[in-house]
Structure 1
Amino acid sequence: MKLHRVGAALLGGLAALVLLACPTMGGGRGGAGNSGGAGELPGSALVLEVPQAGGGAGGGPAGGESPVAASLVEALYQACGELSGNIPDRASIAVISIASGDPAEGEFAVEELTLLLVNVKKYSIVDRRHLELIRAEQRFQLSGEVDDDTAVSIGRLMGAAMVITGSISPYHEVKYLRLKALDVETGEIRAMASRRFNG
């Protein structure tokens, strides 16, 4: 009988540890214990994905990939949470370009990601109108894939500390959203995120 009670207490303790370690399971706003700040995106019932060791619910061949998001909006929300955990608070950010075979989809993704970053309320987001002025003056082409050097140059001209670029590309039955955040001062990639979604 004592052994049974000890076993039950251990299981209860493990459950509490799991809830503390995985902010997406603890209820509430999805991440009060998340030091990366990924759970601070307000106003949505979407769950930010937390990378798990081993073959969790990843859904990929080795369980390392996150589940397929239902839409581009959900994929952007999840990717924004991942990037947010690796960008310093109060950084000035410019979302430069998200390349896609469908230009309307790419432009929508840029605007939606900008909105999500504004709603995090941790960053200073550079106005997109500045990007349009610089593009006209410098004749930058942002309709397709933008290389890192060009993105960093644009970020400098806009006065941003970080720039975000990305792409949307189909692969088999799903699409992949890939984003990266570049440090304008060093050109270093500070964060990357990849999410699959049904599109």
Structure 2
Amino acid sequence: MDHAFITPDRLFPRLHLPDAPVVFDVRRDDDATTDPTRLPGAQRLTLSQIESAPVPDRAVVYCQKGGKISQLGADALRRRGGRALVLAGGHLGWVAAGLPVQALPPPSARWIVPLDPGASELAALWVLRRLVDRAAPLRAVGRDQVGAACTVWEACALPGTAKEMARLAALDHPIVDNLSLPLFLERLLAGRRRRGVDAEASLDLIDDWLAGARR
């Protein structure tokens, strides 16, 4: 039975990776109201919603304690062709381990980014896409149009730094303090901007840099 579970200490170092599993929070509403936090990047769904949601290749499902609700949700995904694990101990086990959480709900449903993000803005985008919300719709516009675009599209402007993004999401994660990007990454980003590379397509610069720092 252990093969159907993943422990908090095994999941935590994977959450910020580009190929991290999709995490589903299927706690009951009263449990989520009592503790309105979630694992970094987790999507909040009911059990009935997860039974009809798109099936990711890999997923982790958690409820309050890792019991019946998350196990039903994970099995529903597996029966539809996905690979799904249950978080052992659930939300309570994660919190008891002292691991990072963030506020429910996400700070915005939509985001606007400038077409020419600098290195600090790219770091903020990395926090958004790796730790806060991987699926939220995002649009890029000219820097002078960001405010107006937010009004028209009912969106939030991307904060200017990783720490501001984390603060907006009420996320306390140790990796945020390490996102002061070195000069060579700023030069690589500038080169990509000149070639018209989309900002999200440049997040691999940070992924690779962090991976190298861990070696």
Q: TM-score, normalised by structure 1?
A: 0.31
* Larger Rg belongs to: 1
Structure with higher helix content:
2
Q: TM-score, normalised by structure 2?
A: 0.30
